[in-house]
Structures are given as C-alpha cells and as structure tokens.
Chain A
Amino acid sequence: MSSIMRGTTDNGPDTRPPGPLLPEPDEDGAPFWEFAARGELRVQTCADCHEPRFPPRPCCPHCQSFATAWRRMTGRGRIWSYVLPHPPLLPFYADRAPYNVAVVELADAPRIRLVGNVVAAPGARLDSLDPALLRIGASVRVTFDELAEGVTVPRWLLERP
C-alpha cells in the first residue's frame, strides 16, 4: 500500500525543520479534508438510509448503498477520552510534549468520534491548554487550524475553560 502520511521523518536523512505529520487523504476521506479547508466539519452519511459513518468508506454498513452525502455538523461535542503523550515522540511532537490528544464525541452524531487536540485558542500550539482543565464529558466546539498551504485540520476549544 502506498504511503498515506507525509511530513517529517526521523528514519532517514532529512534536513527540513520538524513539522507536524500532515493528513494524506485516501479516496474515501478526501471530502472531509476538502470541507475542513473551507472551515466546515462534515461527516460522511448514507444518502439512502441517512446513517452517518466514520471513518469514511465506500459503502454503507447498514444498507450497503454506495450513495454518499456529507452532512454538516454544528461542531459541538464532548470529550470522550484523552491522553497526554510524553517522549519518545517524533521531533515536532516531542518539542510540544506533554500535549493532549482527545477523542471528541459529536453532539449531532454521538457515535461519530473524532481524534483531535484541545487548544487554548484558535491557532494555538498543541501544548497551549493546561491539561488540568481537561475532563471526560467537557463540552467543546470546533475550530480549524491551517497546518500547511491547503491543509487544514479541526481542533477543539473548551466551551467553559
């Protein structure tokens, strides 16, 4: 299978400054990233039975339809769980450790959970939020961060920091 990630590597000679790993979409996931680049959080949904599904895939596991729509989410959710990674990590992440990675359950579709980072403000660093403010069940809302030209990822802000 071809590479689905690009970014820095510490497996070989690479003189670029360490940056984050960038999502390299597959065919099914590409629309998610295209909408994210426009500041929209959308989830793949069956166009026939209307069940949302994540991660994106070619057909609906409920009704087997290949007809797909991308439903816009309000961008509100709750923290389902979170971790605080410490080194050893890839260089970009080691520089920011400990940072948080959370799984966010979407208010509009509770079984759709997105991995992401809770940050102190839009565009802030991965380690910008005091980890003591994190708790399972906390309400969050989406913001977007452009990691590189044309590459935007959702991030999350506490509703009541």
Chain B
Amino acid sequence: MSAGLKDATAIVGIGQTPFARQLPSSEKTLACRAVLEALDDAGIPPSQVDAFASYTMEETDEVEVAKAIGAGDVTFFAKAGYGGGGSCATVAHLAMAIATGQAHVGVAWRSRKRGSGPRPWRDTRAQLPTPAQWTRPYGLLRPADEIAMLTRRYMHEYGATRDHLFHVALACRNRANQNPRAIMYERPLTREMYMTSRWISEPLCLFDNCLETDGALACVVVSAERARDCRRRPVYVHSAAQGLPAQHHGMVNYWNEDPLTGPAWTAARHLWKNADLTPRDVDVAQIYDAFTALVPLSLEGYGFCGRGEGAAFTEGGALELGGRLPLNTAGGGLSEAYVHGFNLINEGVRQLRGTSTAQVPDATACLVTAGEGVPTSALLLRS
C-alpha cells in the first residue's frame, strides 16, 4: 500500500556550491549556501522550512542548518545511513513526511569536504561501516578494494572486460565535458589514457574511481499541490524505495548465496511495484558511480537488462546521449563531483525541467539511484 506517495510530492528547488578539490569554506557554510540557493530556486522563504533530511555521515546537524538559515519550527527530521546509499532516501523520507502531513516544506542536503578532508579508510580507530575485523587486517582497506573484489568476480562470471568499465567512465566524462560546473569540464578522456592509467586496486584503475570533491548540494520537497505555486516546473517524486536485501553485508557482501545480486534488486522491486512506469519508460538515468563497476550491476538490478548483461548493455554508445539510456548527464561522481551522489538527484531534476547542459530531448522520466553495494535507495522522477 503506497497510495499516498505516487506523485504526491515534488522537488521544486535545487542548489549547489561550486565543486573543487579544495574549497576554503567550512562544510557548515557550504551546506547553508546550497540550502539557501535551493530555497531561492523554489521561491520559498527559509522561515517556511519545517522538515530536514540528510545522511548519517553528514557532519552538519539539522540544528545548525535550521538556526543558520532561519528555518521556522521543524516537525520532521531524519537521517539515512550507509554513506552514498542514503542519497535518494533523504528525498524519499521528506516525501513520506509531506505526503502524510508531518511537514510541508522539506530540505534535503549533503555537504562534504571529501577533496581536502580526510579519507575515511585511513581512520584505524573508528568503527567503519564494514565488519572490519574480517577484512582490514588482510589489507582490504578501502572501498575501492572492497568493490574491486566483486568486480573481478563479475568479470569472471559474465565475461565483462575493462572496455565495459571504460564505456561507463567515458560516458560520464563526455557529459562532464559539456558541464562547465563539472570538475572534469575541460579534461577529455581517451581509451589510451584509461588503459594505461595507474592501478588503484586491480582490476580497478584510477578512472574507475570517483573524484574527491569539496562541495554541497540541496533540494526542496513540497506537496504536489504546493508545487504548482512554486517558481520552477515541478519534478514529481513518482516512486521511491530503499533496499536492504536478506543477508546483505554492506560493501563486503561476500557472505551470502549470491553476492552479485545487491541492494539495487531489492530497491528496484519496490520502486517499480509502486510506479506506473517500467524501465522502458525511463529517458535518462543518474546511476550512482563511486566506481564504474557499480553501473553494470545497477543496470541489471533496476531491470534495464537481464542478470549478467549489464556490461554488454554499455556497448555501442548505449550510455551516451542518443543511446539507449543516457547516463549521468552532468558527469556523475566519476567526472562532475563526488558528493555522495546528491549531484545525481539535482541533475535528474534539471533533465526533467529541460535545463541540463546535456539535455535529453523531451525527457519525462528519470531514474536516480544511490550507492549500490551498500543498503541503498532510489527515486523515479517524472515531469
């Protein structure tokens, strides 16, 4: 039963700071700038904000954002876990809160200085979101190592090659080359650069890994009714889902029946069940790309192709503009900015407003996904 969520709410404002390897402002300042820009985009005064949602890894609490921007009385606040797996869940939680009358104007945001700040995997004292005693003593230290393990198995089982991963990196880079706000705007990528780049964790090379970025983004969610009075064309939250599969382990998902069937499959079943659309109706996709290998897995999980066909799906320019499924049209985490996937949400909104720098003509439906390989979330947006 989800009669209350389908198209009941809309994203009516988006905001972001510049993206860079290093920004001088604090994460708190960046968060406030992105939130205020999103509210201005919507034409809604900050005093009317009564709901907040962010990631558990977000360092600036809603208390700090609310009092800095001048929010009113807040009646809903939530945080979604599992790093980049929580991106779409922030919007989903606001949509549920607004659809059920818990709040009226919701702000979701992520601010992160991952470019100039510490790498989480270097922390040897804090609990990391993995069963670290079983992996880290052996030198499986970083997210890149953990996902590389699944990648090699995927290549072994389905005949995927480095060229398939390159197709993902190239599509993202080509879109970034069209987006003046992307970190990699003026940096084209060639197959030779990809094939001769240094290894990070074999079989993943430098260009299979996302950027390290300072920046912040935000968006504003209101009811569909309220959305009609806002400054921009509403982008409706048609369907939303979270996914934590049975016996899933998060990042080091090596210990169940079928480690290559990840959270995307669980989120997808729920997402499509509650949608009027099918994967065939999706005009453009923003798929979480902390690592290239997550894209073929997600293509399978969200039903764009069959099990084991995700790599082959990337062939023939399928992910490019004009292809079967244009991907990460602002450049994604690989080439626009890596801010735990929030830039994918805002780009989904731009596509359905018709304002992307790599616009898919007449796009009316966009899938946005959060991190695959961790408990995840997804949004199906429509204009």
Contacts and interface: CB of A to CB of B under 8 A. Distances in A.
B198 interface: yes
- By size class, the interface of chain A is 35 or more
Contacts of B256: 111
A55 interface: yes
Contacts of B254: 80-81, 103, 113, 115
A117 B140 CA distance: 10
- By size class, the interface of chain B is 35 or more
B202 A86 contact: yes
Interface string B134-159: 11111111101100111011001000
Chain A interface main SS type: loop
Interface stretch (B35-43, B125-133, B231-239, B356-364): B125-133
A22 B137 contact: yes
A149 interface: no
B260 to A, nearest CB: 10
A101 B118 contact: no
Nearest to B127: A1
A68 interface: no
Contact of A103 (B127, B131, B149, B201): B149
Contacts of A20: 137, 139
A147 B118 CA distance: 28
A85 B201 contact: yes
A23 B156 contact: no
A149 to B, nearest CB: 15
Interface in B195-226: 198-204
Given A24-B133, A83-B149, A101-B145, A126 B139 contact: yes
A82 interface: yes
Top 9 A-B pairs, shortest CB-CB distance: A84-B202, A81-B153, A1-B127, A83-B148, A9-B124, A23-B133, A86-B199, A93-B139, A101-B140
Interface of A: 1-11, 20-26, 29, 54-55, 61, 80-86, 88-90, 93, 96, 98-99, 101, 103, 111-117, 126, 136, 147, 153
